[in-house]
Amino acid sequence: MSTVTLGRKVPAFSLPASGGKPLGLKDYPGKNLVIYFYPKDSTPGCTTEGQEFRDLHAEFARLDTVILGVSRDSVKSHENFKAKQGFPFELLSDGDETLCRLFDVIREKNMYGKKVMGIERSTFLIDGKGVLRAEWRKVKAAGHAAEVLAAVKDL
């Protein structure tokens, strides 16, 4: 499978999600889509990033933009994380890394001195026609949601 490319349509996808039903590109026709990949539910950076998207959610919604978070955690873990943080958007469970590989976000990381494969914090902006318009890789959580919102305003 190839990976996504700026300026090209993103292939259809669907994954199990919080909220009880699978979600994918086809569920949001005509809407912009922000997909942010994060390493793990309820960890400090991932919580900060999710909270910032939560706090700007109304502004994204006014711009006809849906936010989806993605990690390898289970739907049950996502449900708990979403409830605890009051996220108004859904979280997709990518346990087999299908979407992670499509967006090429799996990287070797150093965890407590050990090399492990994990999600590199990354965000992608897809327009209402399904075309990838922007990408951010090696994201620092703090302040990132505002940067993504600025890019949506420029669409």
Asked about 100 being catalytic, the answer comes back as: no
Assign 3-state DSSP to the chain and report helix, strand, coil percentages, each to 5. Answer: 30, 30, 40
The alpha carbons of the chain give a radius of gyration, in whole angstroms, of 14
For the four alpha carbons of 93, 96, 99 and 103, in that order, the dihedral sign comes to: positive
Say which of 46, 68, 105, 141 is annotated catalytic.
46
CB contact at 8 A, 146 and 52: yes
Q: Which is nearest to 132 in space by CA: 1, 11, 2?
A: 11
Residues facing 134 on adjacent strands = 125
The set of catalytic residues is: 46
